[in-house]
Structure 1
Amino acid sequence: MTSADETPVRVGVFGLLGSGNLGNDGSLEAVLGYLRAEHPEAVVDALCGGPEVVTARYGIPATRLHWYRGEYRTALRAGAIAAKGLGKLVDAFRTAAWVRRHDVVIVPGMGVLEATLPLRPWGFPYSLFLLCATGRLFGTRVALVSVGADAIGNRPTRALVRWSARLATYRSYRDALSRDAMRAMGVNTARDEVYPDLAFALPTPRAGGPSGPPGPVCVGVMDFHGGNDDRARAEEIHRRYLDGTTRFVRTLVEEGRAVRLLTGDECDAPVVAAILDAVDSPLVTAAEAASLADLMKETAAADTVVATRYHNLICALKVGTPTLALSYAAKSDALMAEMGLAAYCHPAREVDADRLLERFRALEKHSAELRRTLAERNLAAARQLEHQFTALTTALFPAADHAHALREAP
């Protein structure tokens, strides 16, 4: 509780939240759950991509991340280019003013230190740098919590990401590969820890499991065009991914299997539409998931899951459903290995339906064993995240941590 003469701690959450990516919003939900449980006195608001969505869904005030509303549209005309350039200057002042009003700012999960998907340095990397630099300037503690990172080739992006990490008060990563990548880019990670993705802290719906009626095969798809270094062959990669995934779905349907298509971002809808059009069968349906909780319910009701998006994988693994990853980045391989399913990965850049089916049949053959493994790994992940939140309180809320210690003392 906060006494009458004390000012409540002011906490900001920052990122591309409320913008249609379910994984990002799931990370926010996990952090808000931690704050409401451990620091109910905190006054929380957001600087984010979709403020209207964040306010409506999570009940906290929110401010738009970018002054220029066309930030993530390609600027072709002179007026749009000028407006985008002006927006960068305006955002520097807007971000500084927002940061200055807070005691703590948390960046909840997300791949904020990576470029595994197409990314321009003057987009989110610039925004993150503004946050961390102004946090250091005004003495606001900035925490990058269970974030993803990778080694970045583009020099301006790498520089912005490296300095953002260096300027943060607290850093933790969602896998060891991320920490290693930041170390390789010149960040001192000696005090940085690795914890599971924040989505593992969310409530888990009751699993259907093999004891009930046969469930569908959930296939999580993605509007995948490769990463930052694949721009020259982006369309070829996308065509191969879509063709291979469609062939896989068609084969399952020909065998009489029900298929449930999942997405993780609004931009994935055209891929779902293309598969539904190519495989014209009542056995293929599309889920309309609005949150990670919805995705977890879908994957809990499935016999098996084949998924591309990172948080589609997490949802399936968290509910204990045997899962095969269409892996587009090292983070997916690392996650699958951590959960005991390293053998069940297939490259998203080269989807071969025959090889994918072979891996899928092996997955189903070992289903019971894999469910036991996932149950054990999920218990371990939950314990690790409890430690993460304790460490976060110590780093960001020293007064609250001291008061807690006094209450616990004999």
Structure 2
Amino acid sequence: MHRTLSGPRAWLSERDCDLGALRELVERETDPADHPYASGVERNVPLYDCDRLRAASATADGRRDVQTELVRALAEGPGVVVLRGAFPDREVVRRAGAAFDELIARQRASGAAAGDHFARPGANDRVWNALEKTALLDPEAFADYYANDMIALVSTAWLGPGYQVTSQINVVNPGGAAQTAHRDYHLGFLSAEVAAAYPAHVHRLSPALTLQGAVAHCDMPVESGPTMYLPHSQKYGPGYLAWRLPEFQAYFEAHHVQLPLAEGDAVFFNPALLHAAGHNRSTDVRRAANLLQVSSAFGRAMESVDREAVTNAVYPVLLRRRAEGVGQAWLDAVVAASAEGYPFPTNLDSDPPVDGATPSSQADLVHRALAGEWAPERLRAALRDGAARRES
């Protein structure tokens, strides 16, 4: 029997992945009455006219009411909202777009090919860390672009103050294949095995730590392959384990929705929503979007720790104790307390994913070193190289 996250289970596994339970959640109609600020609901997705949102948000009480509705839509509703006319001044979008085009041209000229997490390299033009690169290339265009009130409205609604914005440019060329359906950062980037090692309450918490979004930098008819969504799927508890399973992929293929976007429109969605970039079946549309990932201020530790120095100091002890026959659990506990166990944030240009959606963490390197009985000098060099790759 499928048991939900509200039940007694503290851990999830693929045995909890019941397609029927997902269907109960997603095969429903989004009620327009739940979204009074929306101009309409299309294919279960609320559509918001941003001029109306701006007028409604002119007072503090009005802004709070709008944000409350957006949070409900992202958490308890369909999990995705479309903001029509998020950028009313198309020239702001085009100036930023010109900077993006220059970044792509420089990347191509350098011979670099930026791969994707869920699509083959070469299917598109992707620029990692476009936020920093755009600011350094054209700070005026950057400032006008990120002064956008709708990005701030939704980001503070979902995450509160102190959020951090990152972005990647993604241009899917005509013929570019669709992505596979997936969930996003954090747990969505981990293997099913690693995701299952996190307790159920972390599966509930993870989506509250990030907000996913995209700004359309061209008109995107459906044939150009705008992002596919499965509304309401963010509420499915075991979804971080389920999305890779063939029956869930097949269901997504059969039931996803796509909406056309105009240049300057924006979409924001819960990172737990099942979604995937679509197949660009057009012959002449280079589908260009600025993919936004906005992170909570709370996704950081209280103290700064030089974990590279700690790891180098402790590794000879680990190596010696392993040779003396200490158990793996002892080693794992010390590695967890000393080395950085998570591979992000990093520079995905120089530190790309390896054998999956994530690069190697410090802890991965230490475990590899122990298994191979590396000399401390070899691990020290590998950690230094890894730190250099992570620098922007």
- TM-score, reference length from structure 1: 0.29
Larger helix percent:
1
- TM-score, reference length from structure 2: 0.30
